[in-house]
Amino acid sequence: MRILVTDGMSKSAIAQLRDNGHEVVEQFYAPEALGAALQEFDCVVVRSKTKIQASHMDEAVKGKLKLIIRGGVGVDNIDVTYAESKGIAVRNTPCASSASVAELALGHMFALARYIGISNATMRAGQWNKKAYEGTEISGKTLGLIGMGRIAQELAKRAQALGMQVVYTCRNGEKKELPQYTYLPLAELLKTSDYVSLHIPMPADRKPVLGEAELALMKPTAFLINTARGGVVAEDALLKALNEDKLAGAALDVFEDEPTGNEALCAHPKVSVTPHIGGQTAEAQSRIGDEIVSIINGF
């Protein structure tokens, strides 16, 4: 197969694909050039940066494209339904980065609880604000998970090991067979949780799951963590809640637009931010590469 890798992949996986006789081209294409480029490849491998829409598929089917692989959990940067209607298969790597994203979410929880981010910033500016940063312990607190897929379950295990109570909700109302955790409707979860962490894909209507009304249900002492998709939380509503002291803080790895230009949110003293690095660990990248190789070899 002739394979296009647009957003990077582990060197070991690329070497393995080439050893298996495939031709691999590593190149990013701007949206306006992507469709024509796809005509020249049997398979394209993307991460988060490249978005493959219906217009790209219309051009790609003039060539030989038959497989799209998303190196990661979600596939909301690909018009999956349209691709499949054109005979193009879409695959992802749902297991590879679950632990890495869960650990980042947990890291952000510690950063919020103990003022780690803002302490770094103020100390680098020559300030010693010891008395201003009285934190809280995570143990004994309630973690509410919106979504209970692979990543959420990895986070739940770690949180429970740290002495947290774990509750969860699912957008479809489905209760999982997880008796060690408690299912709650969304409104009740928001009202009772000390930490709320999102683990859901972008809704089909692309409307935020948490807007002003939902954020208003949370405790003023609560923290919000989003390592899922930027659009599931309304950034303007979040900023308003933080400014009005209706939330103690928030942690964001994902944003409505990426790279984000929301300086007010990123520079907010109550916010811990990272540039969409949930799956950016050596271990996850290796597993993603292995899964991609497996998908291509079995296609």
Using pLDDT thresholds of 50, 70 and 90, give the confidence band for residue 165. very high
22 and 6 Cβ atoms separated by less than 8 Å: no
- The answer, yes or no, to whether residue 204 has pLDDT greater than 90, is no
Q: How far is CA 116 from CA 98, 103, 123, in A?
A: 24, 16, 11
- Rounded (to 5) percent helix, strand, coil in the chain: 40, 15, 45
Q: How far is CA 155 from CA 199, 230, 267, in A?
A: 10, 19, 26
pLDDT tens digits, 81-130: 999 999 999 999 988 999 999 999 999 999 999 999 999 999 999 999 99
Catalytic residue among 23, 84, 244, 258: 258
98 and 154 Cβ atoms separated by less than 8 Å: yes
pLDDT tens digits, 125-155: 999 999 999 999 999 999 999 999 999 999 9
Catalytic residue among 229, 235, 268, 291: 229
- Alpha-carbon distance of 147 to 196, in angstroms, equals 11
222 and 193 Cβ atoms separated by less than 8 Å: yes
Place of tokens 């000390």: 194
Task: Determine whether 229 is an active site residue.
Answer: yes
pTM (two decimals)? 0.89
- Per-residue pLDDT at 277: 95
* Paired sense of beta strands 142-146 and 89-92, if any: unpaired
Catalytic residue among 47, 70, 276, 287: 276
Nearest to 151 by CA among 74, 93, 99: 99
pLDDT tens digits, 35-83: 999 999 999 999 989 999 999 999 999 999 999 999 988 888 999 999 9
